[in-house]
Structures are given as structure tokens and as C-alpha cells.
Amino acid sequence: MPNNSSHLPFVGAFDAARPGLPGAGLSWLKDFRETGIERFNALGLPSSKIEAWKYTRLKPLEDTDFQPVTDDDGMAALDTVPSLLPNPGGRPRLVFVNGRMRPNFWIEGDLPDGVHLDCLRDVLTRNPDWAEAHLGAIAGDEAMPLMQLNKAMMDTGFVLRVDDGVEIEQPIEVVFIGGLTDRPVAYFPRNLIKLGKNAKATVVKHHFGQGVGAYFANAVTEIDIGEGATFNHYTVQAESRDATHLSTTHVRVAKDATYESFNLAVGGRLSRNEVSVRLEGEGGHCGLNGAYLMRGREHCDNTTVIEHLAPHTSSREVFKGVLNDESRGVFQGRIVVHKNAQKTDGHQLCKTLLLNTGAEIDAKPELEIYADDVKCSHGATTGQMDETALFYLRSRGVPEALARNLLVQSFLGEALEEIKQDDIRQALTDKVVHWLPAACFLSEEWRDA
């Protein structure tokens, strides 16, 4: 193995594990993995000299001797699976523990005909031709090291296929549970989502960590939204405090199709949510929204690119951050309007609240415009809590700690409002409330008044 991967000790360990990775018998997959590792070795881990990684360093990865997960790690004892949504009984759900699918927690729910939900391993076994045609079809960026690493190492993930014209109203929940091992482990989910013409589906991804100790998840999700289809994509990232969570999502939006997403990050020592959306057909729309709440020395990076490639496409992006203690937030959002994408409508907003001096935000909202008849704008603000508003609430008898919580909630409201489904918005709002200091539960004097 070339030298430049020497700074990544865990790569060697994986070399040994590779014969056991899913689809080991498929020769095309072997080649696919080979090109991935070669490319990764050539690129190395991204350094801060690369513009897209200016503000996020992958230091923890270099210092930790990550090991591949074993079947035992996947079978870690688990009594219940906390569900994000109420009444999980009837909703389709897929559960992964340390990257291994747990059939005993799988709820088939009432998936209608034409909706196929499987884990990647099964698809590689049962439907290798489909997998060959679709793996890397949307996410093929050779310049992205982490995507290349995932390409080589992918060992888990799910595949959702929705046939033409099929709509599923029930959100499909996918739960990834990390931690619960006696040593640092790494896993590499690859998720494929494909919606046929005029199809409709909603996926809620819930990442959370249990126990203590470092683990590393490097996921790649490929989403292909057919003509006139709608895909709603919600993610809650609540990894444990020692976890590294890197996620790369590539989305292709066809004519008159819609991609709506919301990413809520409330955990992880180091997390990066990198999304690239290509609006390839006229009338395509994407809503790319998110919120992050960080404390301690957590670091959260949201890096997004929305490319308008066809006329009459629109995009809307709202990201809100709340940073406490010595945490650090990074927002890099780029809107690209290509030459013939006239009549594009693209708006982006990124606002950050610093609760403590010591916390840091680095924001880089970018516009890259090559067409003249377009409406594009972005806005970015950073600042602290509005002292006047705080005083106003207190003067009305609201205790200070509670008033602060209310103002954080109100600040995040503008982003959460972008979530159209009520139950999901409520679920995410609850997550936000849980993140807040417990002041609202302690303020007995106010509750009794």
C-alpha cells in the first residue's frame, strides 16, 4: 500500500477485513473497491489547504486506531430502539447497530406494492445487476477523498426503491445506533434511494450514539429523484460525544421533481454533513434546510452545493446554528447557476447564534452565477441573543434561564418551519427542547405562579 495512507492506520486493518465485506464474490465490485482505495490513497485525508476543508480538520481520525466492526459488535445488547416518531408500531423501520442490520428490530409496516426497502448486503446478493447499475451513479466525484474511502470500504447501508407513480405517505425510519463496543470502530454505510416518475416517499434517518468511546461513521447516500417525484429527507444526528460522523449525500433532481430535506445535528465530536444537489430538469426544486446545536468542544460542519443546471429551477436553503461553550460551527453553502439555467430562483440564509465567547462560527455562503436572468440572494448573520428581547421576557415575569431557552427556540423556529410534515417537525422540535439547558424544568417558581 502506498505511503500516503500511512497516516491512516485503520486503512491497513481494513485491507485484511476486505474479503469479508458484502459482495466479496462480485468481480465488478472488487474493481469498484480497488479504484476507490487507489484514489483515496492518492488523495489522502483532506487537509485544511483544500478550500472545501478550510475550517474542518480530521485530526481525530489520524489519532485513533479504528477497527472494522465484527458481527459481535453488531449484536450488542439492545433492549429497545428509541424511535423518533410516535407510535412506531405501524411505521416501516430499519435498524442498524454499529453498521450491522438487526432483523429483529425490523418493522415491515405496511409498505405498499412498488416500495422496496432492503439492506445493501441483501441487494448485492439478490440483485447484483441493479446494484452494479446504481452504485456510484449519482455520487461519483473522484475529488472527494471520503467518498472514495466509502467506495472502497462500504460495508452496510440500505436501499430504497419506489416504483413509478407509487406514493407512500408513512415516513420510513432508518435508525443507526453507534457505540456499544470496547474499542474504536469504523463503518461505512452506503445508502441508495431511487424514486421513479411521480413517486413520493419520506425517509427519516436517526443517528444516535449509546455508551462511551469513539467510533467513526463515513456514510455516502445517493438519491435519484425521477420526473415529477417528491422525496422528503429528514435526518437527526445525535451521535455520542466521542463520535465522528461524516456524511456525504448526492442528489439528482429530475424535471418537476422536488427534494426537501432537513438536517438536525445535536451531537458528535466531529460531524460533517456534505450535500450536493443537482437540479437537472426544468421545474426542479430543492429545499435544503438544517439546524445545529453544539456544546462542549463539538464541531459541526454543513457544506452544501446546489447546482442549477436547467431553466426554471428553484432552491431554498435555511440553516440555523446555536453554539455554546467552545464548540465550533462551519457553514459552507454554494449556489451555482449554470449558463443556460435562466429564470433560476435561489435563496439561501444562514444565521448563527453564539451563546458564549469561545464558540466559533465560520460561514462561507457562496453564489456562483453564469446566467443573467436569475434571482439569487444569500444572507448570513452571526450574533448573540437579543438582549432587548431577553429583557422583555424577563420583565413579563419569565425567569432568565427559561427566557434564554425560549429565545433559542424562537431563533430556530425559522428553520424548523421549513419542515412541512407536522409530526416530523414536532419530533425535531422535541429534540431541540431536549438539547436546551434544563432550565425550563427547574423553574418551579414560574410553573407554580
Partner 1 sequence: MTTPKVISREATSSELDADYKWGFTIDIGSDLAPKGLSEDIVRLISAKKEEPEWMLEWRLKAYRHWEKLKFQAPKWANVKYPPIDYQDIYYYAAPKSNAPKSLDEVDPEVLEAFEKLGIPLQERERLAGVAIDAVLDSVSVATTYQGMLEKHGVIFCSMSDAVKNHPDLVKKYLGSVVPYSDNFYATLNSAVFSDGSFAYIPKGVRCPIELMTYFRINQADSGQFERTLIVCEEGAYVSYLEGCTAPARKTHQLHAAVVELVALDDSEIKYSTLQNWFPGDKDGNGGVYNFVTKRGKAAKNAKISWTQVETGSAITWKYPSCILQGDNSVGEFYSIAITNNCQQADTGTKMIHLGKNTSSKIISKGISAGRADQTYRGLVRMSAKADGARNFTQCDSLLIGDQCGAHTVPYIESKNKGAIVEHEATTSTISEDQMFYLRQRGIPPEDAIALVVNGFCREVLQQLPMEFAVEAQKLVGISLEGSVG
Question: Considering the rule CB under 8 A, would residue 417 count as an interface residue with partner 1?
Answer: no
Q: Which residue from 4, 6, 381, 410 is in contact with partner 1, where contact means CB under 8 A?
A: 381
Instruction: Considering the complex, state which of residue 372 and residue 448 has its C-beta at the smaller distance from partner 1.
Output: 372
- The nearest distance, CB 364 to partner 1, in angstroms, is 5
Question: Considering the rule CB under 8 A, would residue 359 count as an interface residue with partner 1?
Answer: yes
Q: What residues does 314 pair with on adjacent strands? A: 285, 345
Question: Considering the rule CB under 8 A, would residue 436 count as an interface residue with partner 1?
Answer: no
Question: Considering the rule CB under 8 A, would residue 401 count as an interface residue with partner 1?
Answer: no
**Count of residues engaged in binding partner 1, rule: CB under 8 A:** 35
Of 27-35, 74-82, 287-295, 370-378, the window that binds partner 1 (rule: CB under 8 A) is 370-378
Question: Considering the rule CB under 8 A, would residue 361 count as an interface residue with partner 1?
Answer: yes
Characterize the bridge pairing of strands 244-253 and 200-210. unpaired
Of 70-78, 140-148, 307-315, 355-363, the window that binds partner 1 (rule: CB under 8 A) is 355-363
- What's the burial of 309, exposed, middle or buried (CB within 10 Å: 0-12/13-18/19+)? buried
Report how far apart the first and last C-alpha atoms of the chain are (Å, whole number): 69
C-alpha cell at position 31 = 474493481
Question: Considering the rule CB under 8 A, would residue 356 count as an interface residue with partner 1?
Answer: yes
Q: Which residue from 76, 238, 376, 440 is in contact with partner 1, where contact means CB under 8 A?
A: 376
Question: Considering the rule CB under 8 A, would residue 70 count as an interface residue with partner 1?
Answer: no
Q: Which residue from 160, 174, 246, 354 is in contact with partner 1, where contact means CB under 8 A?
A: 354
Query: Computed from CA positions of residues 198, 202, 207, 210, in that sequence, does the dihedral angle turn out positive or negative?
Result: negative
Answer whether 175's CB lies under 8 Å from 156's CB: no
Q: Which residue from 28, 370, 392, 441 is in contact with partner 1, where contact means CB under 8 A?
A: 370
Cα 267 from Cα 251, distance rounded (Å): 24
Question: Considering the rule CB under 8 A, would residue 47 count as an interface residue with partner 1?
Answer: no
Question: Considering the rule CB under 8 A, would residue 403 count as an interface residue with partner 1?
Answer: no
Instruction: Considering the complex, state which of residue 90 and residue 383 has its C-beta at the smaller distance from partner 1.
Output: 383
Cα 22 from Cα 177, distance rounded (Å): 20
Answer whether 350's CB lies under 8 Å from 408's CB: no
Q: Which residue from 30, 126, 183, 339 is in contact with partner 1, where contact means CB under 8 A?
A: 339
DSSP 192: E
DSSP string over 339-358: TT-TT-EEEEEEEEEE-SBT
Question: Considering the rule CB under 8 A, would residue 352 count as an interface residue with partner 1?
Answer: yes
Of 65-73, 258-266, 364-372, 416-424, the window that binds partner 1 (rule: CB under 8 A) is 364-372
In the numeric block, the cell 429483529 is attached to 104
Instruction: Considering the complex, state which of residue 202 and residue 327 has its C-beta at the smaller distance from partner 1.
Output: 327
DSSP string over 124-155: HHH-HHHHHHHTTTS---TT-HHHHHHHHH--
Query: What single letter denotes the amino acid at residue 29?
Result: L
Cα 135 from Cα 93, distance rounded (Å): 23
Q: Which residue from 17, 75, 137, 367 is in contact with partner 1, where contact means CB under 8 A?
A: 367
Cα 217 from Cα 179, distance rounded (Å): 10
Q: Which residues bind partner 1 (CB under 8 A)?
A: 51, 339, 342, 352, 354-384
